[in-house]
Amino acid sequence: MRTNDEIIYLIKELTDKRGYSISELARRVDMAKSAVSRYFNGTREFPLNRVNEFAKVLGVTPEYILGIAQDNDISSIYNKLDTLRKKKVFEFAHQQLDEQNNILVFPSKTKNQVSVYGAVSAGNGEYLSDNKPELVDYDGEIPVHDFAVIVNGDSMEPTFADKQIIFVKKTSEVRNGQFVIADYDHQAYVKKFMRDENGCRLVSLNKKYNDMPINDEHELSIFGVVVL
């Protein structure tokens, strides 16, 4: 059987694991907070006649708190472990108890955030933001990139949907068939770069808009290529 100090140490661990304060624990076992505090600070011994109430509130058996051996009981082994190993055993045992009681603990999901520098048009043209980027929640995998923009329009479907966030690597070197973010006559676009016997041009995938020829009649700057 555990000593008084061992019982109090275990009850403190169980209380912390449950996320209870001393006040909450006292309320749940129907005792005065001052009494529970005295048990915790060692000025009064734990009342063995109240072990059932503490065990019920803390989700364990009275025998476990007292360290009374039972068939297949691990208390004697647990008591021989160092503090770190006791913590691991306790966490695993608590998880098993929750599963037994059909308590499902869902991990919190932290959303990724992406710095978005304005919109690029899949149609008539947009203006990229020169100001501070906007932080936008993003659920998917974020690739290595230099900046991100939002597509405005549907002429690049099915590859890029309207309002989709796309990621861009800065470069001025473009290969035939790559998707580019370009400033064409002072407006920003996402288009496919094409070069063949008819010359160089920016094209929409579904032909909702005419090809945009690259020649001396138009001003063109390439910001980068789309990586996703």
Pairing of strands 147-152, 112-121: parallel
> 120 and 55, same structural domain?
no
Considering the domain boundaries, does residue 105 fall inside one? no
Q: Residue 75 has what pLDDT?
A: 64
Res 101 pLDDT > 70: no
For residues 88 and 178, membership in a common domain is answered with no
Q: Last residue of some domain: 41, 65, 100?
A: 100
Domain of 55, in residue numbers: 4-100
Residues 53 and 124 in one domain: no
For 136, list phi and psi in degrees, rounded to 5: -125, 135
Query: Which one has a higher pLDDT value, 161 or 74?
Result: 161
Per residue in 120-131, pLDDT (tens digit) is 776 655 555 555
Average per-residue pLDDT for the chain: 82
Neighbours of 13 (CB within 10 A): 16
Residues 141 and 210 grouped into a single domain:
yes
**68-100 pLDDT tens trace:** 755 455 666 777 777 777 777 777 777 777 676
- pLDDT band of residue 171 (cuts 50, 70, 90) is confident
Q: Roughly how many angstroms between the first and final C-alpha of the chain, as a whole number?
A: 63
Give the relative orientation of helices 4-18 and 83-100 as an angle to the nearest 10 degrees.
50
- Main-chain dihedrals φ then ψ at residue 161, nearest 5 degrees: -90, 160
Same domain, 155 and 132: yes
- 69 with 170, same domain: the answer is no
The band of 111, judged by pLDDT with boundaries at 50, 70 and 90, is low
Residue with tokens 């734990």, as numbered in its chain: 46
CATH of the domain at 143: 2.10.109.10
**Residue 135: pLDDT over 90:** no
Residue 158: cis peptide before it, omega within 30 degrees of 0: yes
Of the residues 67, 100, 133, which one is the last residue of a structural domain? 100
21-65 pLDDT per residue, tens: 999 999 999 999 999 999 998 889 999 889 999 999 999 988 889
Residues 221 and 117 in one domain: yes
Co-location of 120 and 216 in the same domain: yes
Percent of the chain's residues with pLDDT above 90: 28
Report pLDDT digits (tens) over 204-226. 887 778 888 999 999 988 889 99
The number of distinct structural domains making up the chain is 2
The CATH number of the domain holding residue 10 is: 1.10.260.40
Tokens matching residue 53: 């109430």
- DSSP track, the chain: ---HHHHHHHHHHHHHHHT--HHHHHHHTT--HHHHHHHHHTSS---GGGHHHHHHHHTS-HHHHHT---TT--HHHHTTS-HHHHHHHHHHHHHHHHHHTT---PPP-PPEEEEEEEEEESSS-B-B--SPPEEEEE-SPPPS-SEEEEEESSTTTTTS-TT-EEEEEE-S---TT-EEEEEETTEEEEEEEEEETTEEEEE-SS-SS--EE-STTS-EEEEEEE--
Kindly report the pTM of this predicted structure.
Answer: 0.47
pLDDT above 60 (res 106): no
In the chain, % of residues over pLDDT 70? 86
